[in-house]
Amino acid sequence: MTAEHVTLAEQFVQPRQQRTADFMGMYVFLGTETMLFGALLALVFAYRLAHPAESAEAARHLKIWIATANTAVLLTSSLAVALGVHAARAGRRRALALGFAAAILLGVLFLGLKGYEYLQDFKEGLGPGTGAPSLLRVGPAALFIDLYFVATSLHAVHLSVGLGVLGWTAIRVLTQRTRVPQQAIVAEMSGLYWHFVDVVWVFLFPIFYLARA
Amino acid sequence: MTVAAPLLTPEERVSYLAAGATLRSWLATTDHKRIAILYLISITIFFFIGGTAAALIRLDLLQPTRHFLTNEGYNRTFTLHGVVMVWFFLIPSIPATFGNFLIPLMIGAKDLAFPRLNLLSWYIYVLGGAVTVYVLIAGGVDTGWTFYTPLSTMFANGHVVAAAIAIIIVGFSSILTGLNFIVTVHKLRAPGMTWGRLPIFVWSHYATSLILVLATPVLAVTLVLLLAERVFHVGIFDPSLGGDPLLYQHMFWFYSHPAVYIMLLPGMGVVSELVSASAHKRLFGYWFVASASLAIAAVGFLVWGHHMFVAGQSLYASVIFSFLSIVVAVPSAIKVYNWTATLYKGDITLDAPFLFAMSFIGLFTIGGLTGLMLAMLAVDVHVHDTYFVIAHFHYIMVGGTVSAFFGALHFWWPKITGRLYSQFWGRISAMLIFVGFNLTFFPQFILGYLGMPRRYHIYPPELQVWHVLSSAGASILAVGYGLPFAYLLYSLRNGRAAGRNPWGVAGLEWTTPSPPPRENFLKPPVVTREAYAYPIEESGHDG
Amino acid sequence: MGRETRQLILVWAGLMLLLAATVAVTFSPLPTVVKPGMNLLIAGAKAALIVWVYMHLREQPGLNRVVALGALAWLVILVAMTLTDVATRALI
Amino acid sequence: MNTYLPLWPVAASAHAVRVDWLIAAFTALMVLLTAPVFILIVAFSIKYRRGSPADRTARPAGNVVLETSWAVIPFLLTLAFFAYAALLYLDLGRPPADSMVIDVVAKQWMWKFEHPGGQREINDLHVPAGQDVRLTMTSQDVIHSFFVPALRIKQDVLPGRYTSLWFNADRPGVYDLRCSQFCGMDHSRMVGRITVLPPGEYAAWLGRAGTAGDLASQGKALFDNLGCSGCHEAQSTVRAPSLVGLFGRPTPLSDKRVVVADDQYIRDSILDPNRDVAAGYQPQMPTYAGQVSEDELLKLVAYVKSLGPLQAEAPLPPEARR
């Protein structure tokens, strides 16, 4: 992609300036998202510090193998998105759509597995508000489990938004309302968001599922 | 400047105000100047809602026990006052209006980096505001603006859920504004506008934006957790599960203490401009003042625990937080001394903006020093959660930020509207506000030291005289705040045309017509001088 | 297959290896005190790969790199000072 | 209207007097540091007003030495006050070992007190003058805060946790007690009185106030009724640690940590027994969360405390002496 192709908004004077500004804006936004999930991490750490045994006990009830499979699914979806963005920069519309479509499928698979996992959790009586008699619903173990539910559902919400963003971008590029490579920045921004959602999961995985010991 | 109020001056004909008069041309605009006006109107509405709640509080406290509000009604009133004033007036007050209007003008840009995000942020603000109005109509909230758990999650029966949602929503508006400013300052400065030539106003907005983007998300997620606990009975801070309500307080103050600097730093930026402009002289110690803004933003993140000295926090953590709270006073002190030194050998015009700036310095100094007292551990143990704290933060936020807001309004009004207002009434209003403010809040320091807890509806009868004095001051304050709306609105139709530079001061925004054209400058500016370079170069070179 | 495409796939392979490593650490007979730290380190390595390559940080000017990673410093403040309280509360 | 105009609160303890001196001295320093600002603003505004004939040549743009000194010198002066204030604060966090202990339970919207001898009061607290008094406080619902202006002390009272506060009131009299943490509808009615009595009168008051036996013996009865004694008595067949001599001792745990067996530890061990299991024992005790009230918990703690080795001045129940 060469700079001359880029559509320039009126407040900018150079394509390069606009491009750096767009990336900077997105990085700042993802920085805010980092703080959002970071606050949850701070809580998990604080409770693990205060109640190490119960947290580990609670973690042993999480479905580690589903989560491992889900991690692999998300990491692969990130590869698909990265390949799609690479195609967008080269102006290959269909390759972009293919990459994003693959990522969407993997994302849906992730949500499906996660939903199945929640179902198992609730059957076991781990979930809040069910009133199921379970040793894990008393004391600090419940705090760990509930933070797990909140953090993973917040992640799932972000992932669903990401699915929408990827789909929207792919359709706009396919129908040429967004032109590549001139407006490849749209695909790049969508990609950044998706990868960020992936990074969040990369940390949720060890902090909850691998906290067994 | 002597033209007698023509319908439209030639400059007004190309101005951003003339770019369209339909509702659509306002509600679908991406012009930062128009969005600033939209914000100005909306925050003014919330200022009056919050002010009405304040008036109710002061009226009701005239008597120690015989009240027209019930205890519950009183609790809902002060909660509404806090929520509206903090999130719907103070936080957006200066950044979203004057920051929005002036940053592109001051750095010589055509607009902010992301104009559509800017408009979106206003719509998000309006949505959050609408939910708040719903809370008000539905009956209010009874937790205090701090929403401490487990009161808010298990015991309060007001509209906690809607209020928390409103705050989460308005938080996104803050984040978008902050993001926009950061990228704009980095990427859209005009040729020649180096960091060393940025007005302090821009520096302090940059510092503010850092806090906006880094702190606001923590508040959002904390409130999400609060909602999860209240609505779905998810255990997060629940003491019966071994949960720790202090963790809520940590998360809350990690946002809410820096939020004080979100309110204050833009005010300091405004005052730096006003002091230099009134003295027609370079700001004393530019680099000290500029870096003090960044220092406040950074160190301001390390002091939140001073809200928790008596909360059951670790003694050691308290000592650390106390020390850091004293450190954060250093850059503030630098600013006050440097403003004073700027006046030395100045050429001072005693106009309304100057009077507002001086009352900012005086009131902020008192607020800051009582803040230092609160940072002293043993003193805080006594005055924590009393009227001493109330007086302290009103000196900072009302004496400081609101004075700066009115100073900014009086200083840039000619630039924004192209019209001059009555200096006589401006000076009267500045002095009324100063006197009324001190009469309202100084007695509250004494009340606090005497042991009057905050959020008390019924209070010991021996404290009544101080409360009556405070309420009397509040009525003067109300007149002082009401006056500008009369003479400023009057000036819109009847004021004389302002011309480019009615104050005869330095600054890029004064080289363009008043009101500025849609593109801000008739031709793209090239900056060759520092900020505050006096004497100024006369007459616009771009016309 | 171009050079960049190959790099993207290599990164993915690296991520998968790290995933296997972190699960292996969890079930290994290592002492339990070191496991959370090692798992966090591995997560950091995974995140670094994604951020550096997939999120284009390697192409960005220095300023944007600072912007992208700046929030981490504040996250450290939040976590460290909160834990300072929790960890020292019982001491007198 | 009441026309009395109070200017300064009474000080009923040595600590209160120290806090008063601290704030007075600090205020003086602050006036010293800011008087130049206020005086110079007015002076400059008059001298350098537009059109005045003042000399405006050689205007300074800044002065690094000057600016650094007005940043650093006030900071260093303030640090001295910081240090003294921190010492006073740390002192508040460390009650003398031989303090008389009074239990406080806060609930919406009242204060409940229990004296070591079992005397109970609501919203009224009688204490002896000149004696170190330590309050062990907890809440049944939301966060409250125990605030006595005349003593210049305040401490939040949390649900699910004990916080403590101590004082030595040296001036007999009646002082206000106020809840200072917003706690719901009748927050401003959650007030009470602290009556400081000369020691002799306090003893007489204790005698007049009826009691159902002191706290520790009430705790002993609970200990038996709840079945605790079934496992924790020496002759029991179930292996559970003996509690004699436990209180205040460093206790090794099964995960190799060592904790001091204080009020909080005993409370946690009743409610959440398998969190900190004593070394050499199995995590097999059932939880008593939800079965014992805050008042009862405090009694159980008082009983375990009475088993030594740190003995409060209250007489030990005969059972504990064997």
Do B317 and C63 count as a contact with CB atoms less than 8 A apart? no
Q: Which helix (H) or strand (E) holds A161?
A: helix A140-174
Residue pLDDT, tens place only, A27-85: 999 999 999 999 999 999 999 998 888 899 899 999 999 999 999 999 999 999 999 99
pLDDT band, residue B55 (cuts 50/70/90)? very high
* Minimal-distance CA residue of chain D relative to C33: D255
Residue pLDDT, tens place only, C46-70: 999 999 999 999 999 999 999 999 9
Residues C55 and C68 in one domain: no
At residue B60, the 3 state secondary structure works out as helix
Smallest CA–CA separation between D35 and chain C, in Å?
Answer: 36
Residue pLDDT, tens place only, B459-513: 999 999 999 999 999 999 999 999 999 999 999 999 999 889 999 999 999 999 9
Q: Taking CB atoms and an 8 Å cutoff, what residues of chain C touch B316?
A: 84, 88, 91
For residues B238-265, average pLDDT: 93
Residues D76 and D110 in one domain: yes
Residues D115 and D187 in one domain: yes
CA angle B293, B299, B303 (to 5 degrees): 130
Residues making up chain D, counted from first to last: 322
Do A51 and D275 count as a contact with CB atoms less than 8 A apart? yes
Residue D315 has pLDDT above 70, yes or no: no
Contacts (Cβ under 8 Å, ≥6 apart) of D235 = none
In the complex, which subunits touch D with 3 or more CB pairs below 8 angstroms? Answer: A, B, C
Question: Around B530, how many Cα atoms within 13 Å sit in the side-chain half-sphere?
Answer: 13
Give the span between the Cα atoms of B167 and D29, in whole angstroms.
40
Name the domain count of chain A: 1
Quick one: pLDDT at residue B181? 97
Residue D321 has pLDDT above 50, yes or no: no
- For B387, the token pair is 């009227």
For residues A95-117, average pLDDT: 96
Do C5 and A86 count as a contact with CB atoms less than 8 A apart? yes
Contacts 24+ apart (CB under 8 A), C70-77: C70/A31, C71/A30, C71/A31, C71/A32, C71/A34, C71/A35, C71/A38, C71/B214, C72/A34, C74/A35, C74/B214, C74/B301, C75/A34, C75/A35, C75/A38, C75/A41, C75/A42, C77/B301, C77/B302
For residues B296-305, average pLDDT: 94
Q: What angle in degrees, to the nearest 10, is found between the helix axes of B245-279 and B286-299? A: 170
Residue D202, exposed/middle/buried by CB under 10 A (0-12, 13-18, 19+)? buried
Which residues face D139 on adjacent strands?
Answer: D106, D159
Which residue of A135, A138, A143, A144 to mutate against D (max D Cβ within 10 Å)?
A: A138
Q: Taking CB atoms and an 8 Å cutoff, what residues of chain D touch C92?
A: 93-94
Residues C38 and C26 in one domain: yes
- For B488, the token pair is 């400023």
Residue D247 has pLDDT above 50, yes or no: yes
Give the span between the Cα atoms of D312 and D101, in whole angstroms.
8
Q: Taking CB atoms and an 8 Å cutoff, what residues of chain B touch D35?
A: none
Residue A1 has pLDDT above 50, yes or no: no
Do A138 and D287 count as a contact with CB atoms less than 8 A apart? yes
Flag whether A111 is in a domain.
yes
* Minimal-distance CA residue of chain B relative to D288: B240
Residues C36 and C71 in one domain: no
For residues B325-341, average pLDDT: 93
Quick one: pLDDT at residue A134? 63
Residue B2 has pLDDT above 50, yes or no: no
Residue B4 has pLDDT above 80, yes or no: no
Chain D contact for C92 (CB, 8 A cutoff):
yes
Flag whether D195 is in a domain.
yes
Pair type for strands D144-148 and D173-179: antiparallel
Quick one: pLDDT at residue A23? 95
Region class of D286: left (phi > 0), else alpha (psi between -120 and 50), else beta: beta
Contacts (Cβ under 8 Å, ≥6 apart) of D208 = none
Chain C contact for D256 (CB, 8 A cutoff):
no
Residue B341 has pLDDT above 90, yes or no: yes
Give the span between the Cα atoms of B102 and B33, in whole angstroms.
8
In the complex, which subunits touch B with 3 or more CB pairs below 8 angstroms? Answer: A, C, D
Pair type for strands D250-252 and D133-139: unpaired
Residue D314 has pLDDT above 90, yes or no: no
Matching residue, tokens 């017509």: B513
Instruction: For residue B215, give the amino acid letter.
Output: A
Which of B183, B251, B254 lies at the smallest CB-CB distance from A25? B183
Instruction: For residue D286, give the amino acid letter.
Output: P
Domain range spanning residue C85?
61-92
ipTM of the complex: 0.91
Residues C52 and C9 in one domain: yes
* Minimal-distance CA residue of chain B relative to A30: B213
Kindly report the number of other CB atoms within 10 A of residue B363's CB atom: 24
Q: Taking CB atoms and an 8 Å cutoff, what residues of chain B touch C84?
A: 314, 316-317, 320
Do C23 and A203 count as a contact with CB atoms less than 8 A apart? no
Residue pLDDT, tens place only, B77-108: 999 999 999 999 999 999 999 999 999 999 99
Do B242 and A51 count as a contact with CB atoms less than 8 A apart? yes
Quick one: pLDDT at residue A131? 61
Smallest CA–CA separation between A150 and chain B, in Å?
Answer: 8
Nearest Cα residue to A189 out of A172, A211, A166, A159? A166
Q: What angle in degrees, to the nearest 10, is found between the helix axes of B315-327 and C62-88? A: 140
Flag whether A1 is in a domain.
no
Quick one: pLDDT at residue D57? 84
Residues C19 and C42 in one domain: yes
Contacts (Cβ under 8 Å, ≥6 apart) of A117 = A63, A66, A67, A70
CA dihedral D289, D290, D291, D296 (to 10 degrees): 80
Residues C20 and C2 in one domain: yes
Flag whether D281 is in a domain.
yes
- For B107, the token pair is 């750095």
What is the DSSP secondary-structure string of A55-120?
Answer: HHHHHTTS-HHHHHHHHHHHHHHHHHHHHHHHHHHTT-HHHHHHHHHHHHHHHHHHHHHHHHHHHH
pLDDT, chain D, mean: 86
Residues C7 and C28 in one domain: yes
Give the span between the Cα atoms of D186 and B457, in whole angstroms.
9
List Cα–Cα distances, C49 to A193, A195, B110, C13, in angstroms. Answer: 15, 11, 38, 11
Residue pLDDT, tens place only, D133-185: 999 999 999 999 999 999 999 999 999 899 999 999 999 999 999 999 999 99
The CATH number for A77's domain is: 1.20.120.80
- For B273, the token pair is 């401009």
Please tell me what DSSP assigns to residue D129.
Answer: T
Residue pLDDT, tens place only, B368-397: 999 999 999 999 999 999 999 999 999 999
Flag whether A194 is in a domain.
yes
Contact B177, B97 (CB under 8 A): no
Q: Taking CB atoms and an 8 Å cutoff, what residues of chain B touch C71?
A: 214
Q: How many CB pairs under 8 A join B and D?
A: 270
Contact B178, B265 (CB under 8 A): no
Chain B contact for D155 (CB, 8 A cutoff):
yes
> What is the phi/psi pair of residue B90, to 5°?
-65, -45
Residue D4 has pLDDT above 70, yes or no: yes
Q: Taking CB atoms and an 8 Å cutoff, what residues of chain D touch C86?
A: none
- For B125, the token pair is 């603000």
Question: What is the percent of chain B where pLDDT is above 90?
Answer: 88
The yes or no reply on domain B28-511 and CATH 1.20.210.10 is: yes
Domain range spanning residue A202?
19-209
Quick one: pLDDT at residue B95? 96
Which of A42, A79, A202 lies at the smallest CB-CB distance from C78? A42
Contact B376, D37 (CB under 8 A): no
Q: Which of D184, D211, D238 marks a domain boundary? A: D211
In the complex, which subunits touch C with 3 or more CB pairs below 8 angstroms? Answer: A, B, D
Flag whether D55 is in a domain.
no
CA D38 to centroid of chain Cα atoms: 40
Q: Taking CB atoms and an 8 Å cutoff, what residues of chain A touch C10?
A: none
Contacts (Cβ under 8 Å, ≥6 apart) of B268 = B200, B204, B293, B335, B404
Give the span between the Cα atoms of B21 and B23, in whole angstroms.
7
CA A136 to centroid of chain Cα atoms: 28
Which residue of B180, B214, B216, B322 to mutate against C (max C Cβ within 10 Å)?
A: B214
Q: Taking CB atoms and an 8 Å cutoff, what residues of chain B touch C91?
A: 314-316
Chain C residues with at least one Cβ partner in A under 8 Å: 4-5, 8-9, 11-12, 15-16, 19, 22-23, 26, 32, 35-36, 39-40, 42-43, 46-47, 50-51, 53-56, 60-61, 63-64, 67-68, 70-72, 74-75, 78-79, 82-83, 86-87
Alpha helices in B14-159 (DSSP H): 23-27, 32-60, 71-83, 91-94, 100-107, 115-138
Instruction: For residue A85, give the amino acid letter.
Output: V
Domain range spanning residue D28?
9-45+63-211
Residue A130 has pLDDT above 60, yes or no: yes
The CATH number for D21's domain is: 2.60.40.420
Q: Which of D188, D211, D234 marks a domain boundary? A: D211
Flag whether D302 is in a domain.
yes
Contact B34, B533 (CB under 8 A): no
* Minimal-distance CA residue of chain D relative to A141: D275
Chain A contact for B254 (CB, 8 A cutoff):
yes
Kindly report the number of other CB atoms within 10 A of residue D68's CB atom: 12
Flag whether D56 is in a domain.
no
At residue D15, the 3 state secondary structure works out as helix
User: Could you tell me the pTM of the whole model?
Assistant: 0.90
Alpha helices in B344-463 (DSSP H): 352-375, 377-383, 387-394, 403-417, 423-450
Instruction: For residue D33, give the amino acid letter.
Output: L
Q: Where are the domains of chain B?
A: 28-511
Name the domain count of chain C: 2
Instruction: For residue C92, give the amino acid letter.
Output: I
Chain D contact for B243 (CB, 8 A cutoff):
yes
Give the span between the Cα atoms of B56 and B37, in whole angstroms.
29
Residue D236 has pLDDT above 80, yes or no: no
Give the span between the Cα atoms of B126 and B136, in whole angstroms.
15
Q: Taking CB atoms and an 8 Å cutoff, what residues of chain B touch C86?
A: 244, 247, 314
For residues D216-222, average pLDDT: 81
Flag whether D1 is in a domain.
no
Chain A contact for B2 (CB, 8 A cutoff):
no
Q: Where are the beta strands (DSSP E) in D203-268?
A: 250-252, 258-260
For residues B123-127, average pLDDT: 97
Residues C82 and C44 in one domain: no
